[in-house]
Structure formats: C-alpha cells, structure tokens
Structure 1
C-alpha cells in the first residue's frame, strides 16, 4: 500500500488530494484540502477526510512550509505507508510536453523558461514542485500539463497570422484547462464506450474559463491561445481583446508592461465589467444593472464561441458543462442554451435546475459533469510508479 499526493499551486493557495493505491485495487481518494493565504502572516490549512474537517493556523508560510504542513496533517492517517509519488498541475508545458513527465532538474529548467507565457501560474507551480522535492526526496515527482491535451490541435488552430519565424520561436495557440478536458473525454468514453467519434464541445466555466472542441477524443480547437487570457471573459481576466487596444493603452494612456499585465489578469472580466465582483454567485444575486450586463456579456461570448467551435468539428453531438460555474449555475446553463434549437440544443428547465447529468431534450446531448483534474494527475502518478 502506498500513497499519492496531488498538488495544485496558485499564488496564495495550494490545493491537495491524497490517494491510496495498492496493486489490483486502483486509486482511493482518502483526503482533500487546501492551504490558503500563502505569503501572508495568517496562512491556514484545511483537511477534509471521511466527513470530518480539520483546520490549522500556520502563521507565516510560503509554498515550502505549506507542503511541510500538508505532510504533517496527513501523516497520522497514512498508517505508516509512504508517499510514493507526487503529481503536480503545471499550467504550461510549451511544445515539449504532450503527456505527463517525471520531473528532474533539466525539465524544471525548461519549464522555468516558460514563465513569461504564464506569469501568474507557472512560478507558483514550480515553487510547489521544488518544495515537494525537498519534503519528499524519495517520492517520484510527476508534472501534468494543462497545455498537453491541446498538442493534437491542427496547425490552423495552433498558429497566429504572424511571420512564421515567431511560430518557430514558440508563439502559438497552446490552449489550457487540458487536465479538465482530459477527464471529461475519459468520462464520456466511460459513459458511452461505443461512441469514440462524437463531436463534442466542452465548456469549462469557472473563475478561469475556456471551451474546447473535441472530435474522436482529441482537441481540435480551443478558445484559449498563447496565454490563459484569450477567449471567454473570466473572473478577472479579459478574454478576447483586439490587440490594438493594447497599442492604444501604451501610446495614449502611457501604460507600461506591468500595468497592462495587472489590468488584463486581475482587473478585467466579470469584475471589471460589473465593478462588483468576480464571483458569479454574487452577480446572479445582485439587482444592479452592471451585474446583469456582465452576465449577458459572459453568456454572449460562450454562445459565440460555441458556434465557432461547432464549425471547427463540422457539427455538434454533445455539449458538456463543467467547472465551478458550469456545474453549479443553472442560470448560466439556461441562458447559454436558450434559443439554440437551430443547433439542436434544447433543455428541460426542471432537469437543468436540478443539475441532472443530462439536461437535454433535443438532438444534441447536453451533459453536466463534475470535472476532476486531481484524479487525472493521480492516475498519471500511478502509471509512473507502475512503469
């Protein structure tokens, strides 16, 4: 019997899951938790296990201290069995990684060079890797990349209309949320194993949001591109934007690189449009006009991308909602599907309100599936341990 730990690091948080694995028994989820307010003086750790909840105040903590604290709180529940492998969500794998990889110093150096492509994610992902290597020196460390799922995209969806030399330098449409799309396509195969060539659009809607067109289990097109800014508006990120706007901001507003980066990543999206919140739950509960307009724009962009992604795969057979908003907001699902009968999308309001697994009544099957990126990571670690 061994244990696998998965880590999903953000700038000020570290989500984790603990799985037990033993020969012939598969993976068993034993605990989940999160360290919040990393980098502050009052970081906290939460552990949820078998219906129980444990929390601890960590005081001042960086990612290294957060990983140590996770080990301390989980170790008593592991019955003396070792943590054999640790899986890491790493946002950017560039062109090098189209599948999970066992991490070493050379790979970490290559991943560090991708920091400019994901400046708000990659540094924290790599900090967690280094912390885990220090705290678990004997464990296999496996990187799972959000961009890997999209390496199957055709050239026309992988490139921009820039001089070809920039494509060769790595300026491409990488796509993100690949771990979520990997899980969803796997679930579709499990639910309907005889249908391997379905034309599917998956809408991963959360504080970060994107959509992906999938055909035959492979990514054909994605709304996200070179960075995690493109496509749909998100909690605080802008989504699709005319690059001329940035030229204007530089020339007329006198904005520099750091100001623009801060604006696009942290002050736009639902927060910027509404001036209220980046939380869809708060916007849905608000009576203010700005909240309604932010929701309307969010839905408009989803519907517009749905049409384009359907064209990319030559039709639509399945639409999947996942992510925090996609799984929990019947309002957003209803607004996205309203009036889409021309595309074959019709839903039952009662099933939608209940969050049923299938909410459709029309030709296109509309599903609500809870995504599980951590399980995808744990499976990759389990495979590495078995290799």
Structure 2
C-alpha cells in the first residue's frame, strides 16, 4: 500500500528524516537523523512500536550528503517502508518570492530553486541534492518542496524591504526570513494551547547551530531577525549574524578577500567558533573555563536580549516567549540568562522548572508565559503537504494516474 509520507530535512551537518502515515493525524512510523556529517558522523533512529532504537557510529572520517542519504535509505529498506512511500516532502531553505506554499518539485520548479543557491550557499544546494537522491531511490513517489521562507511571506511590506533603490527591491533584494517551518510548527502548538489567539504577541527563539527569533501575533509572522540570507541577525554556531555592511566592504577592498573567501569566513569561521576560537558548540563553550568561551556565550545572549527588545517593539508588547531547537530546548543556563535580559518585559523564570526543562518555565509572577516546545520541522513539512492546495492537486493527479 502506498500510503506513507517520507520527510527529508538536509542541512550542512545533518540529515533528519521521518516517515508518517499520510492521513490527518500523521501518525509517526519512523524518525531519525544522521548527525555530525563533517566530523565523526552518527546514525540515530528513535525506538518505535516493534522497532528498537539505533545509535551507532558511521566512522571517524567525514562523510558527504550522499553517504548520509545511503544510511537513511538502508534504514527505510530494513523497515520495509520504501514501497509504502508515495510522497517525499523536502525542507527547502529558500523559496524566494515565488514559492509560498508546498510545491511539486518538477524540473521547472527545481531550475528556479537552483537560481537561489547563492542566497543560501550552505543549504540550498544540499536540499536540492537530497531531492535528486530521493527521486532516484523512489521514482514512484512525488517529490514535494516546503519552504522555510514561506511562513514569513505574510509579514507587512515594511518588514521586508531595505532602504535600497526601488529597482533593486523589485528584483528580489528583500528580507525573506528563515526557519519558517519551525515557526509554523510552534504556531500550531500555540493554537492547540491557546486557541485562535495562539499566545497573542509572541516571540519564538529558534536557537540551534543556526539561530533566529520570530515575532508573531496570533500565530502569524510579524518580524524576524534573519533577512535576505541566513547570515543575518543573531550570533550563530559558525555564522556571524548581523554585521555592518562596511565591514564587508573593508574585507573586499582593503583585505582583498575573494567572494569565496568571504563566504567561508562569514558562514563557516565566524559566530561562536570565531569569537571563542574553540568551538561553535554551545555545550563545549558552557563547560569551558576559557575566557574567550565565556565571551562567546555572553555575546550570544546579549544579541538575543537586544533583538527581543526590537521584536517586542514591533509587536507592541509581549505575552508569550518560546524557546525551541537544540540550544533553546537543552541549555537551561542560556534560557535563564535570556530571561534576565528580558525581565523588563515582565519575564520571570522559575529556576527549578527551567533547570528540569519543563514545558512551562515561567514563574507564577511572570507577566509573560515562557514555554519550551521541541522543534519538529519534519512534522511541519508533512502537515504543509496535507493542507497545501498545490500538494493536494499533485496527490489527486497521482491517484488518478494510478
């Protein structure tokens, strides 16, 4: 029976995957990931009904996305799932201005997405490579793209445009915003909790190796810290975050860096890694006794606190603060320090609940609800595939053909 949805979420250092039954409740059949692709890769699969969990090394040497995909394909084959997959959903980081809902990834669409690779140089090419690998493995399945930029497309126009000549704006040099699938998932969880109000004036902190904040009102994006590219906004694991454009001009004109050298510097050698000189991993920095490590953590928290103030101004206040993704879910110290930075907005964390990682970590006297909600971009992709008109049309055509 061809009734399952496979979701693939490829990144610069990992490949996450999940298989759902293709009906409204999206029952989970399988979930796992290949992590640390560039350094001691590891395969993990969650235990599920009738299937034991897996946690094993894939060797000490770096692997590429092809090798990571082969490991995932092996797991799917062992679980007798390959023949059940009728649709494959892909997280695509950049959808540009044209793709604001789930789309069938035919050759015309793929060609348009390839043109956006320079705007997301770390992610887009990997995302499209995974599409090619999945098409080869599962030729019977529809390949459907869901876009991180789509969630932010409803923002006010003033939140999108830069003060550049209008002709440049019209060619697509605007703020797109990213991590939209993560924010869409959080918005759905907030609607489950609060109803249509969805937490009211909310700031969501997606804090992982890539990090951003999103201001949403009643579950809709109002403003976000990432803009034209995934470089903007917060300090990240290896990415610089917001940077005076004059620094880029200086690096080009005075330091004579090439375009490729600049990409490597800003995307791969900056952020927590660049400031600390030790690591881009928050766990390593928190456990270190080096002053440079402490300064990197301080800068991470400072910039988040400053951006929370900016987004609260865009919202006209704050009712709910949500932490999600790797650091947001698993670093109580970071949550505590961000809470202190936002105390002027009425944020007050309960020390014990925060240390335990409870869902609600705010204290009874806090004027702002503070929540920890696990990220689930894979479920967001599957959900988008079910509700999207374009994806529904593609599925109808598939059923008619069969």
TM-score, normalisation: structure 2: 0.89
Deviations 1:25-45 (A, max 9, x none): x322222223457699x9765
> After superposition, what is the alpha-carbon deviation per residue over 1:269-316, rounded to whole angstroms, capped at 9, x for unaligned?
001111111011111111111111111111110000000000101111
Task: Please tell me whether the aligned partners of residues 64 and 132 of structure 1 are also in contact (alpha carbons under 8 angstroms).
Answer: no
Distance 2:385 2:260 in 1: 37
1:365 alignment partner in structure 2? 369
1:332 corresponds in structure 2 to 334
Query: 3-state SS of the aligned residue for 2:337?
Result: helix
Check conservation: 1:4, 1:381, Cα contact below 8 A.
no
Q: How does 1:304-383 map to 2 (within 5 A)?
A: 304-338=306-340, 340-361=342-363, 362-383=366-387
Q: Distance in 2 between matches of 1:102 and 1:353?
A: 43
User: What is the CA distance between 1:11 and its match in structure 2?
Assistant: 4.0
1:30 aligned onto 2:29: yes
- Please give the TM-score of this superposition, normalised by the length of structure 1: 0.92
Who is 2:95 aligned against? 93
Residue 257, structure 1, aligned to residue 259, structure 2:
yes
Answer yes or no: is the 8 Å Cα contact 2:305–2:341 preserved in 1.
no
> Following TM superposition, by how much is the alpha carbon of 1:155 offset from its aligned partner in structure 2, in angstroms?
1.2
Alignment of 1:106-185 (within 5 A): 106-185=108-187
| Superposed counterparts of 1:1-12, under 5 Å | 2-11=3-12
Measured after TM superposition, the shift of residue 247 of structure 1 is: 1.0
Taking only aligned residues, the RMSD between alpha carbons, in angstroms, comes to 2.3
More strand by proportion, 1 or 2?
1
Cα separation, partners in 2 of 1:57 and 1:221, compared to 1, 3 Å? closer
Deviation at 1:73, TM superposition (A): 2.5
Aligned-partner SS, 1:6: strand
Unmatched 5+ stretches in structure 2: 397-402
The verdict on how the C-alpha distance between 1:11 and 1:292 changes in structure 2, with shifts beyond 3 A counting, is: closer
Q: CA 1:311–1:61 in structure 2 vs 1: closer, same or farther (change >3 Å)?
A: closer
Q: 1:247 to 1:357 in 2, by over 3 A?
A: same
Secondary structure in 2 matching 1:245: helix
2:291 pairs with 264, 289, 292, which one? 289
Deviation at 1:250, TM superposition (A): 1.6
Q: Which runs of 5+ in 1 are unaligned?
A: none
Corresponding residue SS for 1:27: coil
Cα pair 1:3 1:78 within 8 Å, conserved: no
Aligned residues: 384
In 2: Cα distance, 1:351 partner to 1:238 partner = 32
* CA separation of 1:249 and 1:71: change in aligned 2, threshold 3 A: closer
